[in-house]
Structures are given as structure tokens and as C-alpha cells.
Chains A and B, each alone.
Chain A
Amino acid sequence: MANREELITVGVEEEFHIVDAGTRRLVPRSGVLLEQLPADRFTPELQRSVVEVNSSPFTRLDDLAGELTGLRRLAVRAAEGLGLGIVAAGSVPLVDPELMKISPDPRYERMLADYQELTREQLICGTQVHAQIEDRDLAVAVAHRLAPWVPPLLALSAGSPYWLERDTGYAAYRPLVWQRWPTAGPMPACASAAEYDEMIDELIRSGTISDPGMIYFDIRPSAHVPTVELRICDSCPRVSDVVLIAGLFRALVARELEAVRRGRPAEVRPELVRAATWRAARSGLEGELVDPDAGAPRPAAEVIGRMVDGLRPELERSGDWELIASLTREALARGSSAARQREAFARNGDPADVVDLLLAETRNEEWAPVAPAASGVTTGATGVPGGGHAEAA
């Protein structure tokens, strides 16, 4: 295991939906909720039905999980006092788009004026993972080169099957809503940070976006901290899935940094990444994903298992292997959030049951069982996961 100082730190931004505890419908109440929450951690988002929370950067995933759980607890308690509920998921089933409002902020008002229907329909929540890269040239290279790994990470988070009260047929419909923005999708290749910044300047000058925060690539160098940021994932009801994605993203970043340093070439075909991302949105963990190496459809569990096994050297180096292998097996066994949401709906045909499931999962404070994982994920792991591992408060 590497020294703590050498490890890449990871931090997470989570977005939460605010629902009415009685009707279970999305409500534009972030203003009143945020009054009760620490302003250095919780911030408004474009839509008033969404709040965002920011974790600190951590080297240990266990610490990250502890903080995320604690922050969620704060939000859930504050919401409950107001007759509201907090849902971490890509979308919620019960929405009246007409009743939604954007937050009172000149930037958001301008986005409403510029982007119109896209802004009005931005009723979705994501999880963003930041992995630290001090060197911006490297961050630009890595953000582009990691594009092929976006689809399996999306699949792990897939939890937005419902849109405007209908089952879309997608495990994650949020990325389809999201990709309509002009800068969404795989990040183009840029030779340097200077070239990347020049591209952003051109996009702003052209009137396509109004500030660097509106670069919405699936993975991008952060606009405000020295990190690369994974933006494709749905907000996850279970903290364990957030930790899993954060751990995998850190390992991917570490491996790609090494590849860049060694001068290993990488060819990314954006049109194929887009196609594979679409497949992941459609399938989640339940169908097939496009295998990033072979380019052919394979069962999701196989693609994800191979990704995790392939990252074993980096995960062992960061001391995460056992945790990540165990979380992966659990995630695959449990199925995507989308599948669980559909199960909940199927019981009585009532979308309120879906919201109740998401509320309960978001509220759950037991995040991560840690089981010994001597073997790989694809190679028939032993060790049934042990009991709940209470969060370190």
C-alpha cells in the first residue's frame, strides 16, 4: 500500500431531490431547507427542487463514506422537520414540471433565458466525483483518455428510469436529458491545458456557454479545484454505490496518469463512446454493456467485473481492493437502483412506493459491509459479504 501522501484524494458532490413527505411529489423548496443547513456544505442548484452537498477531499474511502453519511443525515433531519424528504437518485417519478422554479440567482436566470426548455426540464440529480490532479496538463489529458470507462461507471449508478411519471425503458434516463446541453458528452482531445482553456474561451465568446462552469463533459478538468471530475453518474440512493464509484474513478485516474507519464498512446473514438454510453443508460446493470476493450456487447456484470479486476494493482496500492471488490459484488448482486425502483412500482403500480424506497435508501446510515475478498470479482469470488458496517461518525 502506498503512503497516504502519495494517494490521490477523492471528494464527492451529491445532488438531492426534495420531495413532499405527504404527496411524494417533487417540490421547489430548497430555499427553506438550505436555511437549516450549513452553507459551507450545502448549496442551491439551478432548480429549486434540488440541493447539492460537497464533501471534503479524502484519501481513505472509509472517511469519505463517513462524511457523506453524516451530511446526508443532516439533510434528512432538516427536511423531515419541514415535512419534506430527501431523495438521492437521478430522477423521481412524481413531478409537475409546471410547478417547478429555478433558484433566485442571476446566473440561473440567465441560463433560463438562454437554454429555455433545457433549463426547465433540468429536474435531475447527479453525483460528481473529484480526483485530485495538480498538474492541469495532465488533468486535460486524463479527462479525455478516460472516456471509454464512462459507460460502466454510469451503469453502476443507473437510477433514473422514470421521467415525467412514465417508465422510459431506460435504467438511466437522466443522461439523455442531460446530453441535450451543448457541451455534454465525451471531452475532445486537447494537447495541453492552454489549448483546453482556449477552447473554453471560444465557447464563451461564441455565446454557447456563459461561464467555464457550463462545460458539461462526462469527465472534465474541474473549473475551480485541481481535480478531474466525473459527471456522468446518476445520484445514488446508497452511499456504498457512491463510494464504489469514487474508488473506481480514483483507480482509473491513477492508471491513466501512469499511462500518460509513460507516453502510452490512447485513441478515443467519441462516436463509439457516445454509443456505449447510450447502451449503459439503457441497460444499467441488468442488460448488456459495450465492452470497452472488445467493443462488443457483453453482460453488464462481466464488463464491470473485468474493469474492477483490471484495476486491481491500483486498488491494492490505495488499499481499496478488498472494499471495492466487495462493494462491486454487492452492487452486482443487488442490481441497479433502476431495477429496485421498478420492483417497488410493480408491487402495487404506485409511483409513491418508488419514492418511499428511495427515501428509505437515502436515509439508510449503514453504508458498507466489508468482506474479505481474496479473489477477483470476475473469477468467482468467495466470501459472502458480512454484516453492516456502521458508518464512522
Chain B
Amino acid sequence: MPAGHGTGRSGPPRPGAEALPVGVEEEFFLFDPRTGRTIPRAAGVLDAVRDPDRVQREFAACQVETASSPHTDLGELQRELVRLRSELSGAARRAGCRLTACGSAPFENSATGATVTDIPRYLRIARAYGAIARGEKCCGCHVHVEVPDREEAVQVCNHLRPWFPTLLALTANSPFTAGRDSGYASWRTIAWGRWPTVGPPPLLDSAADYRATVDALVRSGVILDEAMVYWLARPSHHLPTVEVRVADVCATAEETVAYAAIVRALVTTVLHDIRSGVPAPRPVEALLEGAHWRAARDGLEGQGVDPFTGAPVPAWRLVDELMARIGPALAAAGDLPMVTERLFLLRCLGSGAARQRAVYGQRSNLQDVVAWMGRQTAPVTVCDLPLLTSQGDFSVI
């Protein structure tokens, strides 16, 4: 917890007081602890949740999602995320499965079927999208930052575009698919790319242009509704926010919070630019996509592409540039020490993807990876312990 996030009423003004509210949606897999495969048990897990307010079903019955409340104090966001993960994790154990934060299911591929959640909209999507809906499931993390003015929200998306690859590299957490290493740090990004509206948002002139573009997509019959605009960032269709949808779900709640802080600071920074009349950057489109592909390929551990110069540079250098750009906003929000410390840990321990690979490297056993990811997802509580040992999937607690 960074200093300055205390709740005392006296003392200096809280640095976080004027920060933009931020909320987080996290998607998780439910795995069968015996096989490491996904298991369609969302209904049972949600029945076992004691406080169901902020958890919901997802498209596939092997997934669940949490949605936090909006917070200006990210310490509070972290407490909520940890609580949600713990509750869901406990409910999953009671339902005989494991809640797991990873972007792809290691044993499954594009031909693997999935049980679709029995909700009319999801069933319609399953019918309309065939194999891309049924196959490869993906878990992402969506960060909402409050930007109530729709014109500003559209401009924020324009300004965010060059930073998507760096945000992706920071959160890459899905190297395994089809029972093997895909060669990508974020295979989710590649698999998810098969949907018709995935990718960087187009540069849009105005809220009216956004409306017209979304209407054209809906009119074409290609997407069923506005919620199916899956651009990497978009003005939310149901909240007064900009929604950033780049990230794989992060392995730990701490990483999610650091990522949310970075996204908020970036939105704050570009809002300042917009209000100062700075036009949206216009990187070469093909390079922007190339940079995004490279980020999915290498994550934090390899190369990235500077979207402006096209130069290959170490991914961490892009992170450093991002930090230089948003440092003042992070400091003003009181998040700088927390983010700096967690980036340092990422640098030492490796990205989510690198850690998965390290576990795999020990015994070349993907089941180890699945079990280990489950352990990172939520802290184990005392009441879970008997279940743990009886299931026998943890050698060490």
C-alpha cells in the first residue's frame, strides 16, 4: 500500500482524492484439478458464492467473471479484488473445481468444444459465431476509467492506440494452448483476434462518428449488438467510462491493481493532452498492428516495437517510456511507489507468461502449470485447507 492512501481525515490532502474512479472486470477459468482441463461448472460455483453481487456468469460455462465497484483509492480496489477472488476461489473449491487466472486454457485449442452458458444472448452468439465462439476460450481483464464526456472518451481511445502493445506486454499471461507452448506470451491475443471486431479501435472523429461506426457494424449484421464491439479500447456501452480491453487476466490481484493504476494514469495523461489541444498520434496502422503482434509474441521478456519509429526495442524499454510518460499522473494519484515496486517484482520474477513457462520447465508437465496458476489466483484461506489436502493437487502449501 502506498503512503497517502490512508483514510484518516486529518493531515495533508489525500493524493488520490482527485484521481479518476477505476473499476476492473476479471474473467477466470474453472479447471478440473484432476485433469487440468476446463470444467463447465459456473452455475455450481456461483450457487456456492456467499455474496453474489459482483460475480457473474460468462459466455462459456467454464468461466466466471467479477466486476469491481469503481474506486479512486486503488488500495480499496485491491481489497475488493482480493475479496472477490478469494470468495470465488472458495466457492470453486466447494464445487470441486479451481478458479484460475490465465488467459488461455493450456490443454484446449480452437477445435475444443465448450458448454455455452444457458442465457439467450450467449446462445445466439454461439449459433452466430460457430467455432470461434465454441472453441478456444479466453480470459481477459477489462479496466474501466471514468470519462463521462463521450467526446472526450472517443478522443481518449484515439490517444491510447500507440500504448496498447505495451499494456499487452505487461499483462501477457497465456503461453499455452493445445497442450503445448504456443510460442506466444499471449496466445489469447492471437486466438481472440478471430472475432470480427477485435483490434485497435479505428481513429474516430467524434462521438457521432463512433455512433455511426457502431451502428454500421450492427446494421451489417456482423455483430449482434453494441456490446460486441471488441476493440482494444472503447467508450463503454453501458457505463460513463473508457473501457480498456487489452490485457490477459493477470495472475495475481496485485498485478491487476498495478495494471489498473497504469491504465488510469495513461487515461489521465492523455486527457490532459486532449484538453491542451494535442492531436491524437497517428502511427502507421500496419506498424501498430505489427507492434501488437510482437507484444503478443514476446510479452515482457523479449522485443517490442516502438509504434512511432518502428524500431525493435526491448519490451522493457517501452515500459520505461510509458512510465516516463505517465509518471506525473501516477505520482499525483499516489500510485507511483506501488506501481514502481510491482514493476520491479515483474522484472525480477518475470511476466505471468514467463512464470508459467518456468513452472512448465521444471518437469515439462502442464498440470503443474495449471495447479500453480490456481495458487497464484487467490490466497488460500484456512477453511479451504482440508479440501486441498483431500483433493491432493498441491504438493506444497
Of B187, B216, B291, which is within 8 A of A208 by CB?
B291
Contact in complex: A272, B294 (CB < 8 Å): no
Q: Across the interface, do A164 and B110 meet the contact criterion of CB distance under 8 Å?
A: yes
Q: Mark out the residues of chain B between 178 and 235 whose CB falls within 8 Å of any chain A CB in the assembled complex.
A: 178, 181-184, 187, 190-191, 193-197, 199, 202, 213, 216-217, 219-223
Which A-B residue pairs are the 3 nearest by beta carbons? A169-B130, A116-B183, A208-B290
The stretch from A72-80, A179-187, A376-384 touching chain B is: A179-187
B189 to chain A, nearest CB (A): 9
* Interface window among B87-95, B147-155, B304-312, B325-333: B304-312
Known: A170-B130, A203-B290, A206-B294. A296 touches B219 (CB 8 A): yes
Residues of A at the B interface (CB closer than 8 Å) are 97, 114-118, 163-166, 168-170, 173, 176, 179-183, 185, 188, 199, 202-203, 205-209, 269-272, 274-279, 282, 288, 290, 295-297
Instruction: Find B216's partner among A164, A199, A209, A272 (CB 8 Å cutoff).
Output: A272
What distance in Å separates the Cβ of B280 from its nearest Cβ neighbour in chain A? 16
Chain B residues whose C-beta falls within 8 Å of the C-beta of A183 in the assembled complex: 286, 289-290
For the A-B complex, the count of residue pairs with Cβ-Cβ distances under 8 Å equals 142
Chain B residue contacts of A275, Cβ below 8 A:
196-197, 217, 220, 222-223
Q: 16 A-B Cβ contacts within 8 A?
A: A164-B110, A180-B191, A183-B289, A202-B287, A203-B310, A208-B286, A208-B293, A270-B202, A271-B202, A272-B213, A275-B196, A275-B197, A275-B223, A276-B220, A290-B222, A295-B219
Chain B, residue nearest A97 (CB): B178
With A164-B111, A188-B285, A202-B287 as known contacts, state yes or no: A169 contacts B294, CB within 8 Å.
Answer: no
The reply to whether A117 and B183 form a contact with Cβ atoms under 8 Å apart is: yes
Q: Are A205 and B310 in contact (CB under 8 A)?
A: yes
Partner pick for A199 among B178, B221, B287, CB 8 A cutoff: B287
Which residues from A are CB-within-8-Å of B193? 179-180
Residue B49 is within 8 A (CB to CB) of chain A in the complex: no
Q: A117-B182, A163-B111 are in contact. Are A206 and B216 (CB under 8 A)?
A: no
A271 lies within 8 A of B213 (CB): yes
Is residue B86 contacting chain A, with contact meaning CB distance below 8 A?
Answer: no
Compute how far the CA of A297 lies from the CA of B287 in the bound complex, rounded to whole angstroms: 32
A332 to chain B, nearest CB (A): 20
Partner of B184, one of A117, A188, A206, A279: A117
- Complex alpha-carbon distance, A290 and B293, angstroms: 28
Kindly state whether residue B177 has any CB partner on chain A within 8 Å: yes
Asked if B303 lies at the interface with its beta carbon under 8 angstroms from chain A, I say yes
Are B190 and A118 in contact, with the CB atoms below 8 A?
A: yes
> How far, in angstroms, from A181 to B194 measured CA to CA in the complex?
11
Contact B310 A269 (CB under 8 A): no
Q: Are A117 and B177 in contact, CB atoms less than 8 angstroms apart?
A: yes
Q: Which of A117, A185, A199 contacts B190 (CB 8 A)?
A: A117
B274 within 8 A of A: no
Residue of A nearest to B221 (CB): A297
- With A116-B182, A183-B289 known to touch, is A205 a contact of B311 (CB < 8 Å)? yes
Find the B residue at minimum CB distance from A287: B221
A117-B187, A206-B291 known; 12 new pairs, CB 8 Å cut-off, are: A116-B182, A117-B177, A117-B182, A117-B184, A179-B194, A202-B284, A202-B310, A206-B306, A272-B217, A275-B197, A297-B220, A297-B221
Measured between C-beta atoms, what is the minimum distance from B119 to chain A in Å?
Answer: 19
**Secondary structure of the B contact surface, majority rule:** mixed
Whose C-beta in chain A lies nearest to the C-beta of B222? Answer: A275
- A189–B284 alpha-carbon span in the complex (Å): 10
Q: Find out whether the CB atom of B286 lies under 8 angstroms from the CB atom of A279.
A: no
Complex interface: chain B residues within 8 A of A117 (CB)? 177-178, 182-184, 187, 190
Chain A residues with Cβ below 8 Å from B380 are: none
Q: Which of chain A's residues have a CB closer than 8 A to the CB of B177?
A: 117
Residues of B within 8 A of A185 (CB): 289
B376 at interface (Cβ–Cβ under 8 A)? no
Q: Is the CB of A272 within 8 A of B220?
A: yes
CB closest residue in chain A, given B287: A202
Given contacts A272-B217, A276-B220, contact A163 B289 (CB under 8 A): no
The smallest beta-carbon distance between B226 and chain A, in angstroms, is: 13
Report yes or no: A203 in contact with B287, Cβ–Cβ below 8 A.
Answer: yes
CB pair A269–B220 under 8 Å, yes or no, is: no
- Could you say which residues of chain B place their CB within 8 Å of the CB of A163? 110-111, 131
CA distance A168 to B216 in the complex (A): 26
Given A163-B110, A169-B130, A290 and B221 contact (CB-CB distance below 8 Å): yes
Contact B220 A296 (CB under 8 A): yes
Q: How far is the CB of B277 from chain A (nearest CB, A)?
A: 26
Shortest beta-carbon distance, A385 to chain B, in Å?
32
Report chain B residues within 8 Å CB of A206.
Answer: 287, 290-291, 294, 305-306, 310-312
Known: A117-B187, A183-B290, A203-B290. A176 touches B221 (CB 8 A): no
Residues in B neighbouring A276, C-beta threshold 8 A: 220, 222
Cα separation A118 to B297 with both chains bound (whole Å): 11
- Interchain nearest-CB distance for A215 vs B (Å): 8
Whether A182 and B293, one on each chain, are in contact in the complex, defined by CB atoms closer than 8 angstroms, is yes
Chain B's nearest CB lies how many Å from the CB of A300?
12
Assembly CA distance A163 to B130 (angstroms): 12
Chain A residues, CB < 8 A from B271: none
**B221 touching A169, Cβ below 8 Å:** no
Do A203 and B130 contact each other (CB < 8 Å), given the known contacts A271-B197, A296-B220? no
Tell me, rounded to whole Å, the shortest Cβ–Cβ distance linking A194 to chain B: 14
Query: Contact at A188–B286, with CB atoms within 8 Å?
Result: yes
Q: How far is the CA of A56 from the CA of B206 in the complex (A)?
A: 49
With a cutoff of 8 Å between Cβ atoms, the chain B residues found around residue A290 in the complex are: 220-222
User: Is B131 touching A279 in the complex (CB atoms < 8 A)?
Assistant: no
| Nearest CB on B from A276, distance (A) | 6
Which residue of chain A has its CB nearest to the CB of B191? A180
Check: B132 CB closer than 8 A to any chain A CB. yes
Chain A neighbourhood of B306, CB < 8 A: 206
* Alpha-carbon separation in the docked complex, A208 to B111 (Å): 27
A164, B202: Cβ atoms closer than 8 Å: no
The residues of A that contact B223 with a CB separation of less than 8 Å are 275
> A118: shortest Cβ distance to chain B, in Å?
7
Taking a contact as CB atoms under 8 Å apart, the answer to whether B286 and A295 are in contact is no
With both chains docked as a complex, state the minimum distance between the C-beta of A286 and any C-beta of chain B, in angstroms: 13
Task: List CB contacts (< 8 Å) of B328-386 with chain A.
Answer: none
Q: How far is the CB of B213 from chain A (nearest CB, A)?
A: 7
Q: Is the CB of A176 within 8 A of B291?
A: no
Residue numbers in A under 8 Å from B131 (CB-CB): 163, 166, 168-170, 173, 176
When chains A and B are docked, how far (Å) is the Cα of A168 from the Cα of B191?
A: 14
**Chain B residues with Cβ under 8 A from A170's Cβ?**
130-131
CB distance from B248 to the nearest CB of A (A): 16
Are A180 and B190 touching (Cβ within 8 A)?
yes
Q: CB-CB < 8 A to B285: which residues of A? A: 188, 270
B180 nearest CB neighbor, chain A only: A117
What is the CA–CA distance of A297 and B224 in the complex, to the nearest angstrom?
12
| Chain A residues with CB below 8 A from B290, complex form | 182-183, 203, 206, 208-209
B residues less than 8 Å from A209 (CB atoms):
290
